[in-house]
Amino acid sequence: MQVCVKISHVISLFPRSHLHHMGPSNETQISNFLLLGFSEGPELQPLIFGFFLSMYLITVFGNLLLILAVSSDSHLHTPMYFFLANLSFVDICFTSTTVPKMLWNIQTQSKVITYAGCITQIYFLILFAGLDVFLLSVMAYYRFVAICHPLHYTVIMNPRLCGVLVLVSWIMCVLNSLLQSLMMLRFSFCTHFQIPHFFCELHQMIQLACSDTFLNNVVMYFAAVLLGGGPFAGILYSYSKIVSSILGISSAQGKYKAFSTCASHLSVVSLFYSTILGVYLSSAATQSSHASAVASVMYTVVTPMLNPFVYSLRNRDIKRALKGIIWLPVM
What is the chain's pLDDT, residue by residue, as a tens digit (331 residues)? 443 433 333 333 344 444 444 333 334 456 788 888 876 677 888 999 999 999 999 999 999 999 999 998 888 899 989 999 999 999 999 999 999 999 999 999 888 999 899 999 999 999 999 999 999 999 999 999 988 888 888 899 999 999 999 999 999 999 999 999 999 888 887 766 788 888 998 888 888 888 888 998 899 989 989 998 899 999 999 999 998 988 888 787 877 877 777 888 888 888 888 877 776 666 555 555 666 777 788 888 988 998 888 887 767 888 888 877 776 444 4
In the chain, the domains with their CATH numbers are 31-326 (1.20.1070.10)
Could you tell me which residues come within 8 angstroms of residue 300 by beta carbon, excluding any fewer than 6 positions away?
94, 95, 98, 99, 125, 199
Residue pair 310/87 in contact (Cβ under 8 Å)? The answer is: no
User: Within 10 Å of residue 45's Cβ, how many Cβ atoms?
Assistant: 17
E strand intervals along 53-173:
112-114
